[in-house]
Amino acid sequence: MNRVIIVLVTLAFLGVPSAAKITGTTITVLQLNICHGGMAGCYRGDAVMAKAAEVIRSSKPQVLSVNEACSGDVDRLRPAMGPARALFVAARDLDGTPVLCRGSDQHYGNIVMVATAFAGLAEESGIYAAQYTAADGHRELRAWACLAAAHLSVCTTHLSADNAPTALAQCRDLMARVAGYPRPAVVAGDFNLRDHGSPSMRDCDPGGFSRRGDGNVQHVYASDDLSFGRTTKIDMMGSTDHPGWLVTLTAPSPG
C-alpha cells in the first residue's frame, strides 16, 4: 500500500509566546520504552508498569517520554510523575485507525509528560509523511507528540524499526518541526537509529541542538540554550528490552 495517511491534532497552539527564561534550572529527562503494547517479543505484561513507576519515583523527572505504551498507562504512571501535563498519541494502522494494545481496546503509542512548572497548554501530535508501509514492524504508522511553549517545549517519538532511511526521514521531519517551537526545547524517544551505521543517528543532528544517546537507539536532543550534565542507563530488570535513559540538563545562568 503506497497511500500516506497524516493525522494532526493541534490545540491552543496559535499565538504561543516565546518560552520563559529558566536560567540556572536543572531539568531531568527520563526516556523509557516499556514494550507494553503486547505485539513484540519483549512484552512482559504489567511487570513493566511497576518497574516504570518505581524508576519514575526514584529519578523524579520533570520530563518523561514513554514509547510502546497503552493509552491507559497515562493514568497509571501519573501518580509516580506527580503534577504534570500529559499527551498521548496513537500509532495508526494502514487504514488510519489507531493501533490497539493486545487484548484491549486501549490505543497503542507514545506518552509525553511535563511537570506543571514547565508545561505549556499547546498540544500537537501526528504521524509522519515518510512511512515504510510494506512491513514496518507490526504495520503501524509511527507517531510523534509535542507539548510546546511556557518554560519548555518537549516532544516524544518512536521511529520506524525496519527501515533506517525511513527512520532518518522521520527524525529530520520532527527536528525541523521542533526548530520552530519556543525554546528551550527537548526531544526524547526511541529513534531506531544508532550512532554508527548507514544512515546513522548523526545524519539527523540539526544545527542548534545537541544530543546524547544510550549507545543504542534511545536519544535525547536538547536545544543549545540547555547544557547536558549527567547521563545514566537504568536497568529495567528484564521488564522490557530497553534500559531507562536518564539525562540531566541545565539552563546556564547568565554571565
Domains and CATH numbers, the chain: 27-250 (3.60.10.10)
Greater model confidence, 187 or 8 = 187
SS3 (DSSP) at 156: strand
CA nearest 65: which of 172, 206, 55? 55
Would the pLDDT of 134 be above 80? Answer: no
User: How far apart, in Å, do the first and last CA atoms of the chain sit?
Assistant: 56
The predicted model scores a pTM of 0.90
Per-residue pLDDT averaged across 223-249, rounded? 97
- Burial class, 95, CB count within 10 angstroms (exposed 0-12 / middle 13-18 / buried 19+): exposed
The per-residue pLDDT for range 84-97, each reduced to its tens digit, is 999 999 999 988 89
Q: Cα separation of 211 and 214, whole Å?
A: 10
Tell whether the model's pLDDT for residue 31 goes beyond 80.
yes
Q: Which amino acid is at 254?
A: P
Secondary-structure breakdown of the chain: helix, strand, coil percentages, each rounded to the nearest 5: 15, 35, 50
Note the pLDDT tens digit of each residue in 1-10: 333 333 444 3
Say what the pLDDT of residue 14 is. 37
